[in-house]
């Protein structure tokens, strides 16, 4: 007899930010997704992602449960916070998780290259794979994939768009100058 899969309740809230609306999603284990854009705009992608990683799921709006994350993001955008606290529930391959953990070691206001991250995780030849993992980061801004630049110093793609990446890098640079 096949066992019934338990439905995972994912809570979410949508917040305004200087880079546009952000949707925050948490599982019972912690923050699992930050999306650029509105809840409605990202519905199909979110449902595909949640189905892949959680199987049976239900989305439930709960601003209170995500209030700490929302407040930390507000502080970050006001240049009052340089790092984030709280539990995360990273959903990805083991390689992706290694990349995402390495991204969190890039200091506020600094940048690194894909090559630097590949070397940091002990896979120096996996530069392209690091780029792919960076692109799949489910928790942008908090896991600072915006701090990744090309080896030649050029800005490279960003899930939230290059103007958003420039805004985040500029925000962090100006904080260090004041």
* CATH number of 132's domain: 1.10.10.10
Same domain, 170 and 112: yes
- Report if residue 1 sits inside a domain: no
pLDDT value, residue 54: 96
Domain holding 161, by residue range, is 94-177
Catalytic site residues? 145
Whether 68 and 99 map to the same domain: the answer is no
**Is the entire prediction scored with pTM above 0.75?**
yes
Answer yes or no: do 65 and 104 share one domain: no
Q: Does 87 reside within a domain?
A: no
Identify whether 86 is part of a domain. Answer: no
Domain boundary among 22, 50, 77: 77
Domain at 13, CATH number:
3.30.160.70
Q: Mean pLDDT per segment of 10 residues, for the chain of length 178 residues?
A: 76 97 97 97 95 96 97 96 96 97 95 94 94 94 93 81 92 71
**Three-state helix/strand/coil letters over the chain:** CCCCCCCEEEEEEEECCCCCCEEEEEECCEEEEEEECCCCCCHHHHHHHHHHHHCCEEEEECCCCCHHHHHHHHHHHCCCCCCCCCCECCCCCHHHHHHHHHHCCCCCCCCEEHHHHHHHCCCCCCHHHHHHHHHCCCCECCECHHHEECCCCCECCCCCCHHHHHHHHHHHHHHHHC
């Amino acid at each position: 007899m096949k066992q019934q899969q338990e439905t995972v309740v994912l809570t979410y809230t949508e917040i305004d930010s200087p880079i546009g609306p952000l949707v925050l999603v948490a599982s019972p284990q912690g923050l699992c997704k930050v999306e650029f854009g509105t809840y409605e705009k990202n519905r199909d992608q979110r449902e595909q992602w949640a189905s892949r990683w959680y199987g049976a799921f239900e989305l439930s709006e709960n601003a209170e449960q995500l209030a700490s994350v929302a407040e930390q993001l507000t502080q970050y955008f006001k240049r009052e916070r340089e790092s984030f606290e709280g539990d995360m529930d990273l959903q990805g391959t083991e390689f992706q998780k290694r990349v995402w953990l390495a991204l969190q070691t890039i200091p506020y206001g600094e940048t690194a290259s894909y090559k630097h991250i590949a070397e940091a995780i002990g896979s120096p030849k996996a530069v392209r794979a690091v780029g792919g993992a960076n692109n799949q980061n489910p928790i942008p801004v908090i896991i600072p994939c915006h701090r990744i630049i090309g080896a030649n110093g050029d800005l490279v793609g960003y899930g939230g768009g290059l103007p958003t990446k420039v805004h985040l890098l500029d925000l962090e640079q100006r904080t260090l100058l004041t």
